[in-house]
């Protein structure tokens, strides 16, 4: 048994401050265990969101020692226990209470993205055929648990607050999964360029670094989408074609 200090943010939208909790910690504990222990023994009104305690529901996102992480997947053995461990809510979303933020903006953003639209069935039995390599390509994107840690860390949202012009890395991953789906025929490139702000991403890769599912957000989703946007909108021949069609 060792003793550790947890410096936990307490407050709501009107304001708040850090509160220190000292407690005994045991081998194998994660930060969420410590928060639950504090909740049961020292601060019954401490607000925290969690569901699975297995890194799969994406609910327990927080900033631990200043780094966006899942509380249930951050072992105390990975942290320097000789110093207070800070646990704060995600900074890019409005605070509800203590460690709980309102992430509903993300769900409204998701509704703006055009849904899956498959091409007509092309096999004699009325179904489709796909190459396995095309199926494999989008599998990575489907691992997303919607923890929104990538959204939290992205400077376009966190520092520049462009919530009405930029959908964020999570939704570039979502759009990429649809755009690269071998059956999908919908065109989302105009939206990505004009209203969803892909041009604001300067591929710093901060989102990729914090993704608990190790999705290659920048290399495999954002950069290929940017390439498609450039190809569609800045290729001189395609541009000329669009001018004749009256679609700039
Ligand atoms: S790579 Fe782009 S989306 Fe990801 S954090 Fe940086 S600016 Fe944001
Ligand atoms: S892409 Fe990764 S960091 Fe972003 S919401 Fe999905 S799982 Fe979380
Ligand atoms: S509690 Fe579900 S991801 Fe942490």
C-alpha of residue 102 to centroid of ligand 1, in Å: 21
Question: Does residue 216's CB lie within 6 angstroms of at least one atom of ligand 2?
Answer: no
With the most atoms of ligand 3 within 8 angstroms of its CB, the residue from 35, 36, 57 to mutate is 57
Q: What is the pLDDT of residues 14-53, one digit of tens each?
A: 999 999 999 999 999 999 999 999 999 999 999 999 999 9
**Banded pLDDT at 243 (limits 50, 70, 90):** low
Q: Which atom of ligand 3 is nearest to the CA of 145?
A: 3
d(CA 118, CA 139): 17
- Would you say residue 207 has pLDDT above 60? yes
Mean pLDDT of 220-224: 98
pLDDT at residue 245 greater than cutoff 70: no
Decide if 119 contacts 185 (C-beta within 8 A). yes
Residue 248 has pLDDT above 70, yes or no: no
Cα-to-centroid distance, 195 and ligand 1 (Å): 17
pLDDT value for 70 = 98
Instruction: Tell me what the mean pLDDT of segment 149-163 comes to.
Output: 98
Is 7's C-beta closer than 6 angstroms to any atom of ligand 3? no
**What pLDDT is stored for residue 247 in this prediction?**
61
Strand ranges, E, within the chain: 2-12, 15-25, 61-64, 67-70, 85-88, 95-97, 100-101
Task: Determine if ligand 3 sits within 6 Å of the CB of residue 57.
Answer: yes
DSSP letters for 136-185: HHHHGGGG-----HHHHH-HHHHTT--TTT---HHHHHHHHHHHT-TTB-
CA of 214 relative to ligand 3 center, distance in Å: 16
CA of 50 to the centre of ligand 3 (A): 5
Q: How far apart are CA 95 and CA 136, in angstroms?
A: 38
Instruction: Return mean pLDDT, the chain.
Output: 95
Each residue's pLDDT tens digit, 94-145: 999 999 999 999 999 999 999 999 999 989 999 999 999 999 999 999 999 9
Confidence of residue 242 (pLDDT cuts 50, 70, 90): low
222-239 mean pLDDT: 86
Go through the chain and tell me how many residues it has: 248
DSSP-derived 3-state class of residue 246: coil
User: In the predicted model, is pLDDT for residue 246 greater than 90?
Assistant: no
Nearest to 147 by CA among 220, 215, 80: 215
pLDDT grade, residue 212 (50/70/90)?
Answer: very high
What is residue 20's predicted lDDT score, i.e. its pLDDT? 98
User: Span 227-231, mean pLDDT?
Assistant: 95
Q: Which of 170, 210, 216, 206 is nearest to 64 (CA)?
A: 210
For range 162-191, the mean pLDDT: 97
Question: Does residue 241 register a pLDDT over 70?
Answer: no
Atom of ligand 1 nearest to the CA of 172: 3
Domains within the chain, CATH numbers bracketed:
2-101 (3.10.20.30), 104-245 (1.10.1060.10)
């Amino acid at each position: 048994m060792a003793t550790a200090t947890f410096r936990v943010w307490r407050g709501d939208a009107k304001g708040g401050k850090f509160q220190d909790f000292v407690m005994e910690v045991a081998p194998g504990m994660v930060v969420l265990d410590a928060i639950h222990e504090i909740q049961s023994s020292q601060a019954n009104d401490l607000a925290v969101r969690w569901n699975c305690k297995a890194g799969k529901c994406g609910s327990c996102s927080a900033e631990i020692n200043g780094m966006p992480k899942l509380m249930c997947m951050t072992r105390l053995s990975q942290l320097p226990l000789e110093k207070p461990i800070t646990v704060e809510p995600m900074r890019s979303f409005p605070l509800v209470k203590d460690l709980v933020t309102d992430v509903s903006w993300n769900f409204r953003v998701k509704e703006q993205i055009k849904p899956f639209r498959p091409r007509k069935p092309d096999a004699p039995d009325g179904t489709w055929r796909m190459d396995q390599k095309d199926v494999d390509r989008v599998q990575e994107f489907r691992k997303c648990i919607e923890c929104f840690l990538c959204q939290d860390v992205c400077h376009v949202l966190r520092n520049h607050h462009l919530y009405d012009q930029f959908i964020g890395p999570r939704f570039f991953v979502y759009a990429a999964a649809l755009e690269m789906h071998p059956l999908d025929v919908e065109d989302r490139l105009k939206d990505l360029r004009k209203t969803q702000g892909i041009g604001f991403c300067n591929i710093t890769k901060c989102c990729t670094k914090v993704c608990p599912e190790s999705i290659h957000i920048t290399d495999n989703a954002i950069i290929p989408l940017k390439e498609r946007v450039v190809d569609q909108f800045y290729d001189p021949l395609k541009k000329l074609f669009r001018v004749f069609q009256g679609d700039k």
